[in-house]
């Protein structure tokens, strides 16, 4: 009953501001019809989700000051408080699927039994629809629909058939027909005004839903573009990148250790070669045999110079000069053999193998250095990818939320658009007049 009273108050506030309209069914008359009685059948067709109507609410509307009272003042020039005595309505039937009240001349009646229960159910459905409208309008840019917020399904159109009987007292202006037509017209304009306000709310929701869908689509597109820029067609798997970083760090450490080991060996080998050469040089300088051989070489050298001078003067033959040269060559060979023998005895035979090992180690060191540089670069890139993977993972989550938001916005927009298409404007028709 409280819900019905709230609905009645809402309708009263709406119809209070409504503007009276002339009916297409009302005959154009230049003069008053001079009738004190008039009656007609009124057919009211409505959408129960937009207007929760029954004979009780219609009776209230017709007898209210904003409908019947205003028409009485405008047509009959009487006060609104007299309207309750000049007409009655009788419910003849309808397609609402429930028993309708018996005819009554009372302005308002309290529904009882099954009628009261079904009336409250209709009001509850209307309340759920209004709460859905309010909740979706308040949610702003973050629409979240769920099974509990889906608006009620559109109900079938319902019809109520009423008999309207106007009985004017003798002291009232004889314009029963004019009053009857104006009353029906006023009821029609009131119901249409409520319908238009209801439809306007849905159209406002549709606009918000369309804006939300556009915003969600733009947001998702920007996030997907950013994801592509971050990944650059690479798979940014967080766990795999961590495994790569661990492996690269192990390889970098191994390369550094190998490089350090090679450098130690290179330094030691270089030092050993230098020590052997120094020792050989010292031994050769102090070797008496080598000194004597060098003296012979020096002496033969002087003899060769003198022999060449004499050969030029023609005092000796060239064969004698050649013999001296041969003696000089043999002396030099003897010195070389002595040096080699002495060098080998000191360790000179190791120099060649040490030089070969030094060359191999130098090549290995160069390779290790290049490998270390490459792995350090890969490690830096992997650590950079790890940071990108963190950003990518977070942005992927936001992208999924944006995608869900877009889906819900499109669903909300489609549902609202469908709801608007299914809205049925109320129709109030006069089937006949007496």
Domains of the chain, by residue range, sit at 2-207+423-433, 238-412
Sequence-distant (6+) residues with CB within 8 A of 110 are: 1, 116
Residue 14 has pLDDT above 60, yes or no: no
Query: How do residues 245-272 score in pLDDT, each as one tens digit?
Result: 888 888 888 888 887 888 888 888 888 7
* pTM summary value: 0.49
Confidence at 427, pLDDT banded by 50, 70, 90 = very high
Give the CATH architecture of domain 238-412.
Answer: Orthogonal Bundle (1.10)
Please give the DSSP secondary-structure letter assigned to residue 28: P
C-beta of residue 73 within 8 angstroms of C-beta of residue 21:
no
The candidate with the shortest Cα–Cα distance to 122, out of 58, 53, 199, is 53
Judged on CB neighbours under 10 Å (0-12, 13-18, 19+), 363 is exposed
pLDDT at 428: 92
Query: How do residues 338-389 score in pLDDT, each as one tens digit?
Result: 777 767 766 666 677 777 877 887 887 788 788 888 888 888 887 777 777 7
Cα 206 to Cα 413: distance, rounded to the nearest angstrom: 6
Query: How do residues 288-345 score in pLDDT, each as one tens digit?
Result: 777 777 788 888 888 888 888 888 887 888 888 888 888 888 888 887 877 777 677 6
Q: Percentage of residues in the chain with pLDDT exceeding 90? A: 18
H/E stretch holding 211 reads helix 176-231
- What number of other Cβ atoms are within 10 A of residue 202's Cβ? 19
Sequence-distant (6+) residues with CB within 8 A of 210 are: 413
pLDDT at 44: 92
Query: How do residues 104-133 score in pLDDT, each as one tens digit?
Result: 333 333 333 334 434 444 444 445 445 544
Confidence at 233, pLDDT banded by 50, 70, 90 = low
3-state secondary structure of 319: helix
Query: How do residues 127-137 score in pLDDT, each as one tens digit?
Result: 544 554 454 44
Cα 126 to Cα 194: distance, rounded to the nearest angstrom: 13
Sequence-distant (6+) residues with CB within 8 A of 367 are: none
Cα 189 to Cα 361: distance, rounded to the nearest angstrom: 103
Q: What is the mean pLDDT of the chain?
A: 75
């Amino acid at each position: 009953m409280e819900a019905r009273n709230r609905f009645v108050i809402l309708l009263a506030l709406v119809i209070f501001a409504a503007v009276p309209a002339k009916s297409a069914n009302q005959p154009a008359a230049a003069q008053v019809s001079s009738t004190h009685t008039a009656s007609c059948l009124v057919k009211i067709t409505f959408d129960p989700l937009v207007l929760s109507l029954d004979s009780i609410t219609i009776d209230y509307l017709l007898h209210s000051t904003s409908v019947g009272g205003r028409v009485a003042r405008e047509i009959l020039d009487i006060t609104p408080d007299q309207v309750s005595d000049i007409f009655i309505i009788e419910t003849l039937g309808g397609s609402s699927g429930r028993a309708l009240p018996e005819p009554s001349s009372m302005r308002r009646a309290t529904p009882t039994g099954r009628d009261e229960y079904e009336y409250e159910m209709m009001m509850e459905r209307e309340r759920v629809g209004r709460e859905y409208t309010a909740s979706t309008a308040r949610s702003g840019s973050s629409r979240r629909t769920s099974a509990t917020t889906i608006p009620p399904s559109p109900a079938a159109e319902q019809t109520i058939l009423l008999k309207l009987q106007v009985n004017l007292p003798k002291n009232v202006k004889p314009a029963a027909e004019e009053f009857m037509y104006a009353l029906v017209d006023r009821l029609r304009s009131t119901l249409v005004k409520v319908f238009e306000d209801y439809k306007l709310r849905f159209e406002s929701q549709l606009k918000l839903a369309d804006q939300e869908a556009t915003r969600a689509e733009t947001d998702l597109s920007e996030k997907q573009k950013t994801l592509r820029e971050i990944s650059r067609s690479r798979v940014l798997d967080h766990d795999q990148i961590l495994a790569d970083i661990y492996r690269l760090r192990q390889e970098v450490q191994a390369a550094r250790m190998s490089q350090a080991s090679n450098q130690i060996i290179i330094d030691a080998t270089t030092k050993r070669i230098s020590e052997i050469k120094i020792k050989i040089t010292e031994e050769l300088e102090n070797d008496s045999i080598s000194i004597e051989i060098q003296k012979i070489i020096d002496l033969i050298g002087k003899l060769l110079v003198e022999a060449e001078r004499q050969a030029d003067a023609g005092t000796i033959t060239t064969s004698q000069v050649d013999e001296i040269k041969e003696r000089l060559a043999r002396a030099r060979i003897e010195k070389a053999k002595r040096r080699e023998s002495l060098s080998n005895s000191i360790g000179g035979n190791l120099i060649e193998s040490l030089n070969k090992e030094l060359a191999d180690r130098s090549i290995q060191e160069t390779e290790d250095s290049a490998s270390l540089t490459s792995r350090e670069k890969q490690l830096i890139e992997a650590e950079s990818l790890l940071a990108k993977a963190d950003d990518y993972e977070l942005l992927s989550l936001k992208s999924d939320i944006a995608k869900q938001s877009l889906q819900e916005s499109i669903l909300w927009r489609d549902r609202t658009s469908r709801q608007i298409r299914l809205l049925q404007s109320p129709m109030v028709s006069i089937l006949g007049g007496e």
